[in-house]
Structure 1
Amino acid sequence: MKISHLKIIDSHFHFYDYEVFDQIAVAAGYVNSEKSLHQAYEDNNIVHGVVMGNGALEPDEHTYPAYMSYCVGLDRDWIHGDMAHAVALVEENLKRRQCCGVKLYPGYNHVYVSDPVYDPIYELARKYDKPVAIHTGLTATANALLKYSHPLTLDEAAVKFPDVQIVMCHIGNPFLQDAIAVLEKNHNVAVDVSGLLEGKIPDMNAFLKEKRGYINMLRDWFSYLGAYDRVMFGTDWPLANLRDYIAFVKVFIPERYWGDVFFNNANAIYRLGLKGEA
Protein backbone atom coordinates (compact mmCIF):
# COMPACT_ATOMS: atom_id res chain seq x y z
CA MET A 1 0.00 0.00 0.00
CA LYS A 2 1.63 3.24 -1.17
CA ILE A 3 1.91 6.07 1.34
CA SER A 4 -0.07 8.36 -0.99
CA HIS A 5 -2.97 5.85 -1.03
CA LEU A 6 -3.03 5.10 2.68
CA LYS A 7 -5.82 6.98 4.44
CA ILE A 8 -4.62 8.01 7.90
CA ILE A 9 -6.00 9.19 11.23
CA ASP A 10 -3.56 10.89 13.59
CA SER A 11 -4.87 9.56 16.90
CA HIS A 12 -2.62 11.72 19.06
CA PHE A 13 -1.43 15.28 18.48
CA HIS A 14 -1.36 18.63 20.27
CA PHE A 15 -2.93 21.87 19.06
CA TYR A 16 -2.00 24.61 21.47
CA ASP A 17 -0.62 28.13 21.21
CA TYR A 18 2.37 27.62 23.46
CA GLU A 19 5.88 29.03 23.04
CA VAL A 20 7.62 25.71 23.65
CA PHE A 21 5.42 24.09 20.98
CA ASP A 22 6.52 26.84 18.57
CA GLN A 23 10.15 25.81 18.99
CA ILE A 24 9.37 22.10 18.75
CA ALA A 25 7.41 22.62 15.52
CA VAL A 26 10.31 24.43 13.84
CA ALA A 27 12.65 21.54 14.72
CA ALA A 28 10.23 19.16 12.98
CA GLY A 29 10.00 21.36 9.86
CA TYR A 30 6.76 23.17 10.62
CA VAL A 31 5.18 26.25 12.11
CA ASN A 32 2.96 25.72 15.15
CA SER A 33 -0.20 26.85 13.36
CA GLU A 34 -3.40 25.37 12.00
CA LYS A 35 -2.37 26.32 8.46
CA SER A 36 0.93 24.45 8.72
CA LEU A 37 -0.71 21.43 10.33
CA HIS A 38 -3.49 21.29 7.75
CA GLN A 39 -1.00 21.42 4.90
CA ALA A 40 1.11 18.67 6.50
CA TYR A 41 -2.01 16.54 6.92
CA GLU A 42 -3.00 17.05 3.28
CA ASP A 43 0.53 16.26 2.09
CA ASN A 44 0.44 12.93 3.93
CA ASN A 45 -3.20 11.94 3.39
CA ILE A 46 -4.05 12.36 7.08
CA VAL A 47 -7.80 12.91 6.95
CA HIS A 48 -8.52 13.44 10.65
CA GLY A 49 -6.72 14.06 13.92
CA VAL A 50 -7.46 13.66 17.62
CA VAL A 51 -6.25 16.57 19.75
CA MET A 52 -4.94 15.62 23.18
CA GLY A 53 -6.26 18.57 25.16
CA ASN A 54 -3.98 21.03 26.86
CA GLY A 55 -5.28 24.02 28.76
CA ALA A 56 -8.66 24.82 30.18
CA LEU A 57 -11.57 22.49 30.85
CA GLU A 58 -14.22 24.97 29.68
CA PRO A 59 -15.88 23.67 26.49
CA ASP A 60 -15.74 27.13 24.89
CA GLU A 61 -11.93 26.89 25.00
CA HIS A 62 -12.05 23.85 22.71
CA THR A 63 -12.84 25.13 19.25
CA TYR A 64 -11.33 23.13 16.40
CA PRO A 65 -11.69 22.72 12.64
CA ALA A 66 -13.98 19.97 11.38
CA TYR A 67 -11.09 17.62 10.57
CA MET A 68 -10.22 17.43 14.29
CA SER A 69 -11.80 15.74 17.29
CA TYR A 70 -10.45 16.17 20.79
CA CYS A 71 -9.95 14.58 24.18
CA VAL A 72 -10.51 17.03 27.01
CA GLY A 73 -7.28 17.05 29.02
CA LEU A 74 -6.88 17.07 32.78
CA ASP A 75 -3.35 18.43 32.80
CA ARG A 76 -3.54 21.24 35.34
CA ASP A 77 -3.98 21.56 39.10
CA TRP A 78 -7.62 20.57 38.83
CA ILE A 79 -7.13 17.84 41.45
CA HIS A 80 -6.40 20.46 44.10
CA GLY A 81 -9.29 22.70 43.11
CA ASP A 82 -13.06 22.39 42.94
CA MET A 83 -13.41 18.73 41.92
CA ALA A 84 -17.17 18.85 41.44
CA HIS A 85 -16.83 21.80 39.09
CA ALA A 86 -14.03 20.09 37.14
CA VAL A 87 -16.06 16.91 36.73
CA ALA A 88 -19.07 18.93 35.57
CA LEU A 89 -16.94 20.65 32.93
CA VAL A 90 -15.59 17.31 31.72
CA GLU A 91 -19.15 16.09 31.31
CA GLU A 92 -20.11 19.18 29.32
CA ASN A 93 -17.24 18.40 26.95
CA LEU A 94 -18.19 14.74 26.65
CA LYS A 95 -21.71 15.74 25.61
CA ARG A 96 -20.24 17.33 22.48
CA ARG A 97 -19.88 15.26 19.32
CA GLN A 98 -16.41 16.64 18.64
CA CYS A 99 -15.16 15.56 22.07
CA CYS A 100 -14.19 11.90 21.65
CA GLY A 101 -12.67 11.19 25.07
CA VAL A 102 -10.68 12.31 28.09
CA LYS A 103 -6.90 12.65 28.43
CA LEU A 104 -5.17 12.07 31.77
CA TYR A 105 -1.65 13.21 32.65
CA PRO A 106 -0.83 11.26 35.83
CA GLY A 107 2.94 11.80 35.68
CA TYR A 108 2.45 15.55 35.68
CA ASN A 109 -0.37 15.51 38.23
CA HIS A 110 1.48 13.14 40.59
CA VAL A 111 -1.59 10.94 41.00
CA TYR A 112 -1.94 7.28 40.01
CA VAL A 113 -4.63 6.63 37.40
CA SER A 114 -6.31 4.14 39.74
CA ASP A 115 -6.66 6.75 42.50
CA PRO A 116 -10.31 7.31 43.55
CA VAL A 117 -9.97 10.97 42.57
CA TYR A 118 -10.27 9.81 38.95
CA ASP A 119 -13.31 7.56 39.56
CA PRO A 120 -15.88 10.20 38.46
CA ILE A 121 -13.94 10.64 35.21
CA TYR A 122 -14.05 6.92 34.42
CA GLU A 123 -17.74 6.86 35.31
CA LEU A 124 -18.37 9.67 32.83
CA ALA A 125 -16.35 7.85 30.17
CA ARG A 126 -18.51 4.78 30.73
CA LYS A 127 -21.70 6.85 30.64
CA TYR A 128 -20.84 8.51 27.33
CA ASP A 129 -19.04 5.47 25.88
CA LYS A 130 -15.85 7.40 25.17
CA PRO A 131 -12.23 6.38 25.87
CA VAL A 132 -9.86 7.56 28.56
CA ALA A 133 -6.42 8.23 27.03
CA ILE A 134 -3.52 8.21 29.48
CA HIS A 135 -0.03 9.59 29.09
CA THR A 136 2.44 6.82 29.87
CA GLY A 137 6.21 6.52 29.82
CA LEU A 138 8.72 9.34 29.65
CA THR A 139 7.57 12.86 30.40
CA ALA A 140 8.48 16.16 28.80
CA THR A 141 9.43 17.90 32.04
CA ALA A 142 11.78 16.91 34.85
CA ASN A 143 9.30 17.77 37.60
CA ALA A 144 6.93 15.02 36.46
CA LEU A 145 7.28 11.62 38.16
CA LEU A 146 7.71 8.39 36.19
CA LYS A 147 6.22 6.20 38.91
CA TYR A 148 2.82 7.72 38.08
CA SER A 149 3.22 7.41 34.30
CA HIS A 150 4.60 3.86 34.23
CA PRO A 151 2.42 1.60 32.02
CA LEU A 152 1.93 -0.96 34.80
CA THR A 153 -0.21 1.61 36.63
CA LEU A 154 -2.89 1.16 33.96
CA ASP A 155 -3.41 -2.46 34.99
CA GLU A 156 -5.29 -1.57 38.15
CA ALA A 157 -7.41 1.06 36.39
CA ALA A 158 -8.29 -1.41 33.62
CA VAL A 159 -9.37 -4.03 36.16
CA LYS A 160 -11.28 -1.48 38.21
CA PHE A 161 -13.20 -0.25 35.14
CA PRO A 162 -13.37 -3.24 32.75
CA ASP A 163 -16.10 -1.68 30.61
CA VAL A 164 -14.18 1.56 29.99
CA GLN A 165 -11.96 1.80 26.92
CA ILE A 166 -8.48 2.90 28.00
CA VAL A 167 -5.79 4.11 25.60
CA MET A 168 -2.15 3.77 26.63
CA CYS A 169 -0.46 6.71 24.93
CA HIS A 170 3.14 6.38 23.71
CA ILE A 171 3.23 2.61 24.44
CA GLY A 172 4.65 3.51 27.82
CA ASN A 173 7.95 4.10 26.05
CA PRO A 174 10.62 3.01 26.99
CA PHE A 175 8.93 0.49 29.30
CA LEU A 176 7.83 -1.63 26.34
CA GLN A 177 7.85 -5.04 28.00
CA ASP A 178 5.61 -3.85 30.83
CA ALA A 179 3.33 -2.04 28.40
CA ILE A 180 2.83 -5.18 26.31
CA ALA A 181 2.06 -7.20 29.45
CA VAL A 182 -0.70 -4.74 30.39
CA LEU A 183 -2.10 -4.85 26.85
CA GLU A 184 -2.04 -8.65 26.69
CA LYS A 185 -3.82 -9.02 30.02
CA ASN A 186 -6.43 -6.27 29.63
CA HIS A 187 -8.48 -6.30 26.45
CA ASN A 188 -10.07 -2.96 27.31
CA VAL A 189 -6.67 -1.30 26.82
CA ALA A 190 -5.53 -0.07 23.40
CA VAL A 191 -2.32 1.76 22.54
CA ASP A 192 -1.12 4.59 20.35
CA VAL A 193 2.39 4.72 18.92
CA SER A 194 2.88 8.47 19.21
CA GLY A 195 5.83 10.32 20.69
CA LEU A 196 8.59 7.94 19.59
CA LEU A 197 10.36 10.37 17.24
CA GLU A 198 11.42 13.97 17.68
CA GLY A 199 12.29 16.61 15.09
CA LYS A 200 13.09 16.07 11.41
CA ILE A 201 15.16 13.01 10.54
CA PRO A 202 17.80 14.15 8.00
CA ASP A 203 18.57 10.64 6.69
CA MET A 204 15.83 8.08 7.36
CA ASN A 205 17.82 5.11 6.05
CA ALA A 206 20.74 5.94 8.33
CA PHE A 207 18.36 6.49 11.24
CA LEU A 208 16.66 3.12 10.72
CA LYS A 209 20.03 1.42 10.58
CA GLU A 210 21.27 3.15 13.72
CA LYS A 211 18.07 2.39 15.66
CA ARG A 212 17.52 -1.12 14.30
CA GLY A 213 17.77 -2.67 17.78
CA TYR A 214 14.96 -0.48 19.13
CA ILE A 215 12.89 -0.96 15.99
CA ASN A 216 13.32 -4.74 16.14
CA MET A 217 12.19 -4.63 19.76
CA LEU A 218 9.03 -2.75 18.77
CA ARG A 219 8.37 -5.16 15.94
CA ASP A 220 8.96 -8.22 18.11
CA TRP A 221 6.79 -7.05 20.98
CA PHE A 222 3.88 -6.15 18.71
CA SER A 223 4.25 -9.48 16.94
CA TYR A 224 4.23 -11.23 20.31
CA LEU A 225 1.09 -9.35 21.34
CA GLY A 226 -0.64 -10.02 18.03
CA ALA A 227 -3.41 -7.50 18.77
CA TYR A 228 -3.06 -5.12 15.83
CA ASP A 229 -6.75 -4.25 16.22
CA ARG A 230 -5.78 -2.30 19.37
CA VAL A 231 -2.83 -0.34 17.95
CA MET A 232 -3.28 3.20 16.60
CA PHE A 233 -1.01 5.50 14.63
CA GLY A 234 -0.29 8.87 16.23
CA THR A 235 2.37 11.53 15.79
CA ASP A 236 2.44 13.76 18.89
CA TRP A 237 2.63 16.72 16.46
CA PRO A 238 4.33 19.15 16.58
CA LEU A 239 7.02 16.88 18.06
CA ALA A 240 7.95 15.01 14.88
CA ASN A 241 7.90 15.33 11.11
CA LEU A 242 4.77 13.55 9.84
CA ARG A 243 6.26 11.96 6.73
CA ASP A 244 9.14 10.63 8.80
CA TYR A 245 6.71 9.27 11.36
CA ILE A 246 4.60 7.41 8.82
CA ALA A 247 7.72 5.82 7.32
CA PHE A 248 8.99 4.89 10.78
CA VAL A 249 5.75 3.18 11.90
CA LYS A 250 5.50 1.25 8.64
CA VAL A 251 8.84 -0.38 9.42
CA PHE A 252 7.62 -2.18 12.58
CA ILE A 253 3.95 -2.73 11.67
CA PRO A 254 3.37 -5.50 9.08
CA GLU A 255 1.87 -4.16 5.86
CA ARG A 256 -1.25 -6.32 6.13
CA TYR A 257 -2.21 -4.35 9.26
CA TRP A 258 -1.54 -0.85 7.94
CA GLY A 259 -5.20 -0.16 7.17
CA ASP A 260 -6.20 -0.98 10.75
CA VAL A 261 -3.31 0.72 12.53
CA PHE A 262 -3.31 3.88 10.41
CA PHE A 263 -7.09 4.39 10.15
CA ASN A 264 -9.65 1.76 11.13
CA ASN A 265 -8.70 1.27 14.77
CA ALA A 266 -8.76 4.96 15.70
CA ASN A 267 -12.02 5.38 13.83
CA ALA A 268 -13.57 2.61 15.92
CA ILE A 269 -11.92 3.23 19.30
CA TYR A 270 -12.59 6.98 19.33
CA ARG A 271 -16.04 6.51 17.71
CA LEU A 272 -15.17 9.07 15.05
CA GLY A 273 -17.77 7.86 12.57
CA LEU A 274 -15.63 8.55 9.51
CA LYS A 275 -16.86 6.88 6.36
CA GLY A 276 -15.02 4.07 4.66
CA GLU A 277 -11.96 2.11 5.59
CA ALA A 278 -8.29 2.59 4.86
Structure 2
Amino acid sequence: MKAKELRVIDSHFHFCDYIGFNQIAIAAGYTNTEECLHKAFQDNNIVHGVVMGNKTLDPAGHHYPDYMSYCIGLDSNVFYDNMDLMVEQVEENLKRKQCCGIKLYPGYNHVYVYDELYDPIYELARKYNKPVAIHTGLTATANALLKYSHPMTLDEAAVKYPDVQFVMCHIGNPFLQDAIAVLEKNHNVAVDLSGLLEGKIPDMVTFLRDKQGYISMLRDWLNYLGSYDRVMFGTDWPLANFADYITFVKDFIPETYWDDVFFNNANRIYQLGL
Protein backbone atom coordinates (compact mmCIF):
# COMPACT_ATOMS: atom_id res chain seq x y z
CA MET A 1 0.00 0.00 0.00
CA LYS A 2 1.36 3.43 -0.97
CA ALA A 3 1.59 5.64 2.11
CA LYS A 4 -1.97 4.86 3.24
CA GLU A 5 -3.10 5.73 -0.31
CA LEU A 6 -2.32 9.37 0.45
CA ARG A 7 -2.83 11.35 -2.74
CA VAL A 8 -0.13 13.92 -3.39
CA ILE A 9 0.15 17.08 -5.46
CA ASP A 10 3.64 18.47 -5.97
CA SER A 11 2.86 22.18 -5.89
CA HIS A 12 6.34 23.30 -6.94
CA PHE A 13 8.71 21.57 -9.35
CA HIS A 14 10.59 22.24 -12.58
CA PHE A 15 10.22 20.49 -15.92
CA CYS A 16 12.41 21.55 -18.82
CA ASP A 17 15.42 20.43 -20.83
CA TYR A 18 17.79 22.90 -19.17
CA ILE A 19 21.18 21.18 -19.24
CA GLY A 20 21.98 22.32 -15.71
CA PHE A 21 19.15 20.12 -14.41
CA ASN A 22 20.73 16.90 -15.69
CA GLN A 23 23.35 16.48 -12.95
CA ILE A 24 20.95 17.82 -10.32
CA ALA A 25 18.44 15.10 -11.26
CA ILE A 26 21.10 12.39 -11.12
CA ALA A 27 22.12 13.52 -7.62
CA ALA A 28 18.50 13.07 -6.53
CA GLY A 29 18.29 9.58 -8.04
CA TYR A 30 16.68 10.39 -11.38
CA THR A 31 17.27 11.36 -14.96
CA ASN A 32 15.89 14.66 -16.21
CA THR A 33 13.26 13.12 -18.51
CA GLU A 34 9.49 13.07 -18.59
CA GLU A 35 9.50 9.26 -18.54
CA CYS A 36 11.53 9.15 -15.33
CA LEU A 37 9.46 11.92 -13.75
CA HIS A 38 6.17 10.23 -14.61
CA LYS A 39 7.32 6.93 -13.11
CA ALA A 40 8.47 8.71 -9.95
CA PHE A 41 5.05 10.37 -9.70
CA GLN A 42 3.33 7.01 -10.03
CA ASP A 43 5.65 5.32 -7.53
CA ASN A 44 4.86 7.97 -4.92
CA ASN A 45 1.15 8.44 -5.68
CA ILE A 46 1.75 11.99 -6.90
CA VAL A 47 -1.33 12.55 -9.04
CA HIS A 48 -0.56 16.04 -10.30
CA GLY A 49 2.17 18.66 -10.28
CA VAL A 50 2.53 22.42 -10.71
CA VAL A 51 5.47 23.34 -12.92
CA MET A 52 7.23 26.61 -12.28
CA GLY A 53 7.48 27.41 -16.00
CA ASN A 54 10.78 29.03 -16.94
CA LYS A 55 12.73 30.00 -20.08
CA THR A 56 10.06 31.77 -22.11
CA LEU A 57 6.83 33.75 -21.79
CA ASP A 58 5.61 32.60 -25.19
CA PRO A 59 2.64 30.26 -24.62
CA ALA A 60 3.90 28.13 -27.51
CA GLY A 61 6.89 27.20 -25.33
CA HIS A 62 4.73 25.71 -22.59
CA HIS A 63 3.41 22.27 -23.45
CA TYR A 64 3.03 19.79 -20.60
CA PRO A 65 1.48 16.35 -20.05
CA ASP A 66 -2.06 16.44 -18.70
CA TYR A 67 -0.92 15.48 -15.18
CA MET A 68 0.79 18.87 -14.93
CA SER A 69 -0.31 22.48 -14.64
CA TYR A 70 2.07 25.43 -14.72
CA CYS A 71 2.79 28.89 -13.39
CA ILE A 72 4.19 31.23 -16.00
CA GLY A 73 7.58 32.34 -14.67
CA LEU A 74 9.03 35.84 -14.93
CA ASP A 75 12.63 34.86 -14.28
CA SER A 76 15.72 36.79 -15.34
CA ASN A 77 15.73 35.12 -18.78
CA VAL A 78 12.42 36.75 -19.74
CA PHE A 79 12.38 39.92 -17.65
CA TYR A 80 12.00 42.38 -20.51
CA ASP A 81 12.55 46.09 -20.78
CA ASN A 82 9.33 46.03 -22.82
CA MET A 83 6.82 45.71 -20.00
CA ASP A 84 3.84 45.92 -22.37
CA LEU A 85 5.02 42.85 -24.26
CA MET A 86 5.70 40.99 -21.03
CA VAL A 87 2.22 41.74 -19.70
CA GLU A 88 0.65 40.74 -23.02
CA GLN A 89 2.40 37.37 -23.04
CA VAL A 90 1.63 36.68 -19.38
CA GLU A 91 -2.03 37.30 -20.09
CA GLU A 92 -2.02 34.93 -23.04
CA ASN A 93 -0.73 32.21 -20.70
CA LEU A 94 -3.30 33.00 -18.00
CA LYS A 95 -6.09 32.49 -20.53
CA ARG A 96 -5.06 28.84 -20.79
CA LYS A 97 -6.67 26.36 -18.39
CA GLN A 98 -3.36 24.58 -17.81
CA CYS A 99 -1.76 27.83 -16.62
CA CYS A 100 -2.73 28.05 -12.96
CA GLY A 101 -0.71 31.06 -11.82
CA ILE A 102 2.31 33.36 -12.10
CA LYS A 103 5.79 32.86 -10.64
CA LEU A 104 8.06 35.79 -9.67
CA TYR A 105 11.79 35.71 -8.93
CA PRO A 106 12.59 38.96 -7.10
CA GLY A 107 16.00 37.88 -5.78
CA TYR A 108 17.22 37.13 -9.28
CA ASN A 109 15.56 40.13 -10.97
CA HIS A 110 16.63 42.62 -8.27
CA VAL A 111 13.14 44.10 -7.97
CA TYR A 112 11.08 44.13 -4.77
CA VAL A 113 7.73 42.36 -5.11
CA TYR A 114 5.91 45.50 -3.95
CA ASP A 115 7.51 47.63 -6.69
CA GLU A 116 5.00 49.36 -8.96
CA LEU A 117 6.67 47.57 -11.88
CA TYR A 118 4.66 44.49 -10.87
CA ASP A 119 1.32 46.31 -10.64
CA PRO A 120 0.15 45.19 -14.12
CA ILE A 121 1.08 41.59 -13.26
CA TYR A 122 -0.95 41.68 -10.05
CA GLU A 123 -3.85 43.24 -11.92
CA LEU A 124 -3.77 40.25 -14.28
CA ALA A 125 -3.69 37.84 -11.35
CA ARG A 126 -6.75 39.58 -9.95
CA LYS A 127 -8.51 39.64 -13.31
CA TYR A 128 -8.02 35.90 -13.92
CA ASN A 129 -8.28 34.93 -10.25
CA LYS A 130 -4.98 33.04 -10.30
CA PRO A 131 -2.31 33.04 -7.58
CA VAL A 132 1.13 34.62 -7.68
CA ALA A 133 3.91 32.37 -6.42
CA ILE A 134 7.06 34.17 -5.27
CA HIS A 135 10.53 32.78 -4.73
CA THR A 136 11.58 33.66 -1.17
CA GLY A 137 14.62 32.90 0.93
CA LEU A 138 17.93 31.48 -0.27
CA THR A 139 18.85 31.68 -3.94
CA ALA A 140 20.66 29.22 -6.19
CA THR A 141 23.17 31.72 -7.60
CA ALA A 142 25.56 34.16 -5.97
CA ASN A 143 24.58 37.11 -8.17
CA ALA A 144 21.03 37.06 -6.77
CA LEU A 145 20.34 39.39 -3.84
CA LEU A 146 18.69 38.16 -0.66
CA LYS A 147 17.27 41.56 0.26
CA TYR A 148 14.82 41.18 -2.63
CA SER A 149 13.87 37.57 -1.79
CA HIS A 150 13.45 38.03 1.96
CA PRO A 151 9.93 36.90 2.99
CA MET A 152 9.24 40.20 4.77
CA THR A 153 9.08 41.94 1.37
CA LEU A 154 5.93 39.95 0.62
CA ASP A 155 4.11 41.69 3.46
CA GLU A 156 3.83 44.95 1.55
CA ALA A 157 2.64 43.29 -1.66
CA ALA A 158 0.02 41.30 0.25
CA VAL A 159 -1.30 44.47 1.91
CA LYS A 160 -1.28 46.37 -1.38
CA TYR A 161 -3.24 43.59 -3.12
CA PRO A 162 -5.46 41.96 -0.47
CA ASP A 163 -7.62 40.22 -3.09
CA VAL A 164 -4.67 38.50 -4.79
CA GLN A 165 -3.67 35.04 -3.58
CA PHE A 166 0.09 34.91 -2.97
CA VAL A 167 2.22 31.80 -2.44
CA MET A 168 5.45 32.16 -0.47
CA CYS A 169 7.68 29.55 -2.09
CA HIS A 170 10.25 27.68 0.03
CA ILE A 171 8.64 29.06 3.24
CA GLY A 172 11.25 31.84 3.06
CA ASN A 173 13.93 29.40 4.22
CA PRO A 174 16.01 30.04 6.32
CA PHE A 175 14.11 33.14 7.50
CA LEU A 176 11.40 31.01 9.10
CA GLN A 177 10.41 33.36 11.90
CA ASP A 178 9.90 36.27 9.49
CA ALA A 179 8.05 34.04 7.04
CA ILE A 180 5.60 32.91 9.71
CA ALA A 181 5.01 36.52 10.78
CA VAL A 182 4.04 37.44 7.21
CA LEU A 183 1.76 34.40 6.97
CA GLU A 184 0.10 35.03 10.32
CA LYS A 185 -0.69 38.63 9.41
CA ASN A 186 -1.75 38.19 5.78
CA HIS A 187 -4.41 35.58 5.14
CA ASN A 188 -4.05 36.01 1.38
CA VAL A 189 -0.60 34.40 1.62
CA ALA A 190 -0.08 30.64 1.46
CA VAL A 191 3.22 28.78 1.56
CA ASP A 192 4.87 25.85 -0.18
CA LEU A 193 7.48 23.65 1.46
CA SER A 194 9.68 23.14 -1.59
CA GLY A 195 13.43 23.49 -1.82
CA LEU A 196 14.25 22.35 1.72
CA LEU A 197 16.05 19.14 0.69
CA GLU A 198 18.70 18.49 -1.93
CA GLY A 199 19.81 15.27 -3.61
CA LYS A 200 19.09 11.70 -2.50
CA ILE A 201 19.30 11.19 1.24
CA PRO A 202 21.16 7.89 1.82
CA ASP A 203 19.68 7.25 5.28
CA MET A 204 16.51 9.13 6.21
CA VAL A 205 16.48 7.86 9.80
CA THR A 206 19.94 9.31 10.40
CA PHE A 207 19.08 12.47 8.48
CA LEU A 208 15.95 13.14 10.54
CA ARG A 209 17.91 12.57 13.73
CA ASP A 210 20.83 14.79 12.71
CA LYS A 211 18.56 17.60 11.50
CA GLN A 212 16.13 17.43 14.41
CA GLY A 213 16.91 21.01 15.47
CA TYR A 214 15.95 22.43 12.07
CA ILE A 215 12.96 20.12 11.72
CA SER A 216 11.80 21.13 15.18
CA MET A 217 11.86 24.78 14.11
CA LEU A 218 9.69 23.96 11.09
CA ARG A 219 7.30 21.96 13.24
CA ASP A 220 7.10 24.57 15.99
CA TRP A 221 6.62 27.59 13.75
CA LEU A 222 3.95 25.88 11.64
CA ASN A 223 2.21 24.75 14.80
CA TYR A 224 2.40 28.31 16.10
CA LEU A 225 0.83 29.56 12.86
CA GLY A 226 -1.89 26.94 13.11
CA SER A 227 -3.03 27.46 9.51
CA TYR A 228 -2.40 24.12 7.85
CA ASP A 229 -5.02 25.05 5.26
CA ARG A 230 -2.43 27.39 3.72
CA VAL A 231 0.54 24.99 3.63
CA MET A 232 1.35 22.98 0.49
CA PHE A 233 3.71 20.11 -0.24
CA GLY A 234 6.30 20.79 -2.93
CA THR A 235 9.73 19.43 -3.82
CA ASP A 236 11.55 21.74 -6.28
CA TRP A 237 12.32 18.63 -8.38
CA PRO A 238 14.79 17.78 -9.83
CA LEU A 239 16.52 19.15 -6.72
CA ALA A 240 15.27 16.42 -4.37
CA ASN A 241 14.05 12.85 -4.21
CA PHE A 242 10.24 12.44 -4.00
CA ALA A 243 10.15 9.57 -1.50
CA ASP A 244 12.64 11.34 0.76
CA TYR A 245 10.66 14.55 0.59
CA ILE A 246 7.36 12.92 1.50
CA THR A 247 9.00 11.24 4.51
CA PHE A 248 10.62 14.55 5.51
CA VAL A 249 7.38 16.57 5.39
CA LYS A 250 5.43 13.89 7.24
CA ASP A 251 7.93 14.23 10.08
CA PHE A 252 6.91 17.80 10.92
CA ILE A 253 3.30 17.97 9.70
CA PRO A 254 0.76 16.36 12.06
CA GLU A 255 -0.93 13.38 10.40
CA THR A 256 -4.33 15.03 10.95
CA TYR A 257 -3.36 17.58 8.28
CA TRP A 258 -1.64 15.31 5.75
CA ASP A 259 -4.58 15.25 3.33
CA ASP A 260 -4.69 19.06 3.31
CA VAL A 261 -0.96 19.70 3.05
CA PHE A 262 -0.25 16.97 0.50
CA PHE A 263 -3.33 17.42 -1.70
CA ASN A 264 -6.33 19.52 -0.75
CA ASN A 265 -4.64 22.91 -0.33
CA ALA A 266 -2.83 22.88 -3.66
CA ASN A 267 -5.96 21.63 -5.39
CA ARG A 268 -7.91 24.56 -3.95
CA ILE A 269 -5.31 27.35 -4.13
CA TYR A 270 -4.22 26.55 -7.70
CA GLN A 271 -7.79 25.64 -8.68
CA LEU A 272 -6.76 22.36 -10.26
CA GLY A 273 -10.21 20.78 -10.17
CA LEU A 274 -8.98 17.34 -9.13
TM-score class normalised by the smaller sequence? over 0.9
Do the aligned residues in 2 keep the contact of 1:4 with 1:44 (CA within 8 Å)? no
Q: State the shift of 1:154 in Å.
A: 0.1
Are 1:220 and 2:236 counterparts?
no
Q: State the shift of 1:78 in Å.
A: 4.3
Alignment of 1:245-256 (within 5 A): 245-256=245-256
Q: How many residues align structurally?
A: 274
Match for residue 196 of structure 2?
196
DSSP-derived class of the 2:251 partner? helix
Distance 1:12 1:158 in 2: 20
Are 1:154 and 2:154 counterparts?
yes
Match for residue 60 of structure 1?
60
**TM-score w.r.t. structure 1 length?**
0.97
Distance 2:227 2:2 in 1: 23
Structure 1 gaps of 5+ residues are none
Q: Which amino acid in 2 is paired with 1:267?
A: N
Match for residue 30 of structure 1?
30
Q: State the shift of 1:76 in Å.
A: 2.3
DSSP-derived class of the 2:12 partner? strand
Which moved further from structure 2: 72-81 or 176-185?
Answer: 72-81
Do the aligned residues in 1 keep the contact of 2:102 with 2:132 (CA within 8 Å)? yes
Q: How high is the sequence identity, in percent, across the aligned residues?
A: 77
Distance 2:242 2:77 in 1: 32
Q: Which amino acid in 2 is paired with 1:272?
A: L
Distance 1:263 1:141 in 2: 31
Do the aligned residues in 2 keep the contact of 1:4 with 1:45 (CA within 8 Å)? no
Alignment of 1:1-278 (within 5 A): 3-76=3-76, 78-274=78-274
Distance 1:197 1:22 in 2: 17
Q: State the shift of 1:2 in Å.
A: 6.0
Distance 1:143 1:76 in 2: 11
Extract structure 1 runs of 4+ deviating beyond 4 A: 77-80
Q: State the shift of 1:16 in Å.
A: 1.3
Distance 2:207 2:100 in 1: 35
DSSP-derived class of the 1:234 partner? coil
**1:162-188 CA-partner distances (Å, limit 9, x unpaired):** 000000000000000000000000000
Q: State the shift of 1:73 in Å.
A: 0.2
**TM-score w.r.t. structure 2 length?**
0.99
Structure 2 gaps of 5+ residues are none
Q: State the shift of 1:25 in Å.
A: 0.1
Do the aligned residues in 2 keep the contact of 1:11 with 1:233 (CA within 8 Å)? yes
